[in-house]
Amino acid sequence: MNQDEVDRSETDLVVLDNEPSWREFQERALRRAGFRQVVAYPGKSQHLDEYLNHGSGRKADLVVFGIQPDNDGCWEHLRAIRQFYEGPLLATTERNRAGLRDRVIDLGCADCLSMGEYGEEGLELKVDTVLAAHRINSMIDENDHRNQRLFVNILTVMVKILESKDPYTRFHSHSVALWSRMIGRKKGLSEEELIRLGLAAVFHDFGKIGIPEEILNKPSRLTDEEFEVMKQHPTIARDLLSSLDLLHDLLPAITHHHERWDGRGYPAALRAEDTPLWARIICIADAYDTMASRRTYKDPMPTERVIEELKKGRAQQFDPELVDIMLEILAEREAEAQAQGAPGNGKK
């Protein structure tokens, strides 16, 4: 099963939530995100076996379960789910509170998302993240690579720790992975290449773990000296990850995702196709997500402005063919969103 939104029509999702308004909101949001096989039910235990079989003769690929922390019945229903379902489980709640995430994870959930804080975009990205992590772990399980799975899990946790320092970049790596896979698919990469490209994108900023926090989260423009320090993060990532055979093929993409088509990037000032293809893909996906998302120092750019910047960077910062692919993807999403009556770029 593929990991990008092209294959979302093949992914069975079940939403269980006792609150009708949140249940309907999550179902609509997931359908707008391109998941076509979505059903939503009250989160009660009486019919869980029927619900989780999704009426299709096979188990759901992922269950989204709404938690009301003060409702003891919700916790009983969550425990009951595991009697019928062993797949990935994402808990959602209206508002986060201390200790809630740890409690749902102890009960077998992959993660807990605050819908009131992150909304539709957060739900879409978190579902993608949980599905991707489950599929990667399943692949590793099938090959009995326990040590490799441990390394991947440790590194993924470290990425989450890094991104948690700034709430505005909490989903950045996984969003870049999503866009990278979409670009890679249109470029003609194989399914295995798309999986590896997505993993490289998840770790593309891993080297920032070695950058001082006062530089990493500075709300204003960096000085020249601070920018020179920031420019070290790709090579820091390369050095930290180079001893892991599992990630060896990802290193060129991680190391060179800040190179430019015109040769004025870093760390090696590579020009044009001297930069590895995966790095060129991640470069444009990274730039798009940065422009289209809110940061501590800026509001998100309107879609029209983002498109202008992509065109301006064509054959300068970005691979011109990949710019054309990205613009095609954005146009397709805009057309689909208009047909469904939703904003084209998914931003609220």
**C-beta separation of 53 from 13 below 8 A:** no
Check: pTM over 0.75? Answer yes or no.
no
Distance of CA 14 to the CA centre of its chain: 20
| pLDDT at residue 102, rounded to an integer | 82
Structure tokens at 285: 């996906």
Tell me the pLDDT tens digit for each residue of 286-296. 999 989 887 65
CATH architecture of 145-348: Orthogonal Bundle (1.10)
Only one residue has tokens 């069975």, namely 12
Q: Is the CATH code 3.40.50.2300 the one for domain 1-144?
A: yes
**C-beta separation of 18 from 196 below 8 A:** no
Domain boundaries, the chain: 1-144, 145-348
| pLDDT at residue 313, rounded to an integer | 96
Only one residue has tokens 């080297």, namely 207
Per-residue pLDDT of the chain (348 residues; tens, 9 = 90+): 333 443 677 788 989 988 888 899 999 999 988 887 888 888 665 556 666 654 444 578 889 999 888 888 888 888 888 777 888 899 999 887 778 888 888 888 888 888 877 788 888 888 887 887 777 666 655 554 555 555 556 666 666 555 555 554 567 888 899 999 999 999 999 988 998 998 899 889 888 888 887 888 787 888 999 999 999 999 998 988 887 777 889 999 999 999 999 999 999 999 999 999 999 999 999 999 989 887 655 678 888 999 999 999 999 999 999 999 999 999 998 888 777 665 445 443
DSSP annotation of 327 reads: H
- What single-letter amino acid sits at 88? P
